[in-house]
Structure 1
C-alpha cells in the first residue's frame, strides 16, 4: 500500500524543479544562439564600430563613414538603384587615413536571420579592395540589410555598418 501523502509531496517538490529547469532552458538557448551567431559573424567583443550614417543608402550611392580612431571607409555596390537579389554584386571598399591588412563585407538581415553572407575582398593597392557576392532571396517583399565592412588593422578589427533595403 502506498502513502498518497508522500506521493503528493514528491510531486509538489518536483514541480518547482521542473519549472525552473524549463525557465533555465528557455533563457540559455537564445543566449547560446546569440553567442554562436556572434562567433560565426567574426565580430568579437573587441571590435570597434563606426557610427552609422542614417542619411547614407548604399542602394542609391556610394557612402563614406568615419572610422573610430581616425580615417574613413567608402563602400560602393554595383549594380544598384535598386540592389538586386540573387544577382552578382561588385563591391569596392576604399580606406583613407588607416592601414588595413584585409577587408571583408558581411551582409546581415536586420529583421530576419539570413545566414552567413560574407565576401572577402581582394586588395587592389592604394587601400582599395574589391570582390563579388550575391544576396539571397528573402520571403519578405521588403528586406532591410546591414552591410558590415570588416577592416583588419594592426590595431584590431574595425566595423563600418551601412544600411540599405531590397525589394523582390
Structure 2
C-alpha cells in the first residue's frame, strides 16, 4: 500500500467513527427521553376491563385505555389517553417488554381536543406464551416530560392468562 492509500483509509475510518458517534448522540434522547416526573404505578389497573387512571407528579391526571378487546399481538390497537389538570402538547405511548427487549415501539397520538389524544399502536409477536408489558404514557407539558406507567399481560392466541383471562 502506498502512503496516500494508507492516509485515505485512515481519513475514511475517522469519518466513519465521527458519523457513528454523531448518530448515537442524536438518537439517545429519542430512545431515552429525559423524564421530569413519573407517576406511581397503579397495581389495581386492568386495561382489559377498561381505562386506568394515574395522578401525575405536580398535579393533573392521565387516563389510558387500549380500546381493542383482548389486547391482541400483531394487530392494530386503538389507544386513547385523556389528560386533565395539565396542558399536554404531545402524547406518546412507549410499549416496553418487561421480561425481554422488544425493540423501539412508541406511537405518537393525535390531539383530538379537550385533553384527548388517540392513535394506533401494535405489539410485536413474542416467543413466550405470556408476556408482561409496560405502556409508559409520555406527556409533554410546559413543565417538562411526565410519564405514567400502566402494566398489562398479553398471551398467544388460545393461551390462558394468569387469573383465568384470555
If the length of structure 2 is used for normalisation, what is the TM-score? 0.75
| Alignment partner, residue 62 of structure 1 | 51
Whether 1:104 and 2:92 are equivalent positions in the alignment is: yes
Inter-partner Cα distance in structure 1 for 2:31 and 2:47: 21
| Alignment partner, residue 42 of structure 1 | 32
Return the structure number with greater helix share: 1
Inter-partner Cα distance in structure 2 for 1:106 and 1:41: 10
| Alignment partner, residue 135 of structure 2 | 147
Equivalent pairs counted in the alignment come to 132
CA contact (8 A) 1:59 1:165 kept: no
Inter-partner Cα distance in structure 1 for 2:72 and 2:28: 27
Inter-partner Cα distance in structure 2 for 1:99 and 1:87: 31
| Alignment partner, residue 26 of structure 1 | none
Larger Rg: 1
Inter-partner Cα distance in structure 2 for 1:89 and 1:71: 26
After TM superposition, the structure 1 = structure 2 runs for residues 153-164 of structure 1, keeping only pairs within 5 Å, are 153-164=141-152
Offset at residue 42 of structure 1 (A): 3.5
Whether 1:91 and 2:90 are equivalent positions in the alignment is: no
| Alignment partner, residue 18 of structure 2 | none
Which of 63, 66, 91 is the matching residue for 1:74?
A: 63
Inter-partner Cα distance in structure 2 for 1:42 and 1:108: 12
Inter-partner Cα distance in structure 1 for 2:139 and 2:53: 14
- Where structure 2 has 5 or more consecutive residues not aligned to the other structure, the ranges are 1-26, 157-166
After TM superposition, the structure 1 = structure 2 runs for residues 119-138 of structure 1, keeping only pairs within 5 Å, are 119-138=107-126
TM-align CA RMSD: 1.9
What's the CA shift string for 1:101-154, capped at 9, x where partnerless?
A: 100000000111000001100000001100001110001000000000000000
Compared with structure 1, are the counterparts of its residues 48 and 93 closer, same or farther at alpha carbon in structure 2 (3 Å cutoff)?
A: same
Inter-partner Cα distance in structure 1 for 2:126 and 2:28: 22
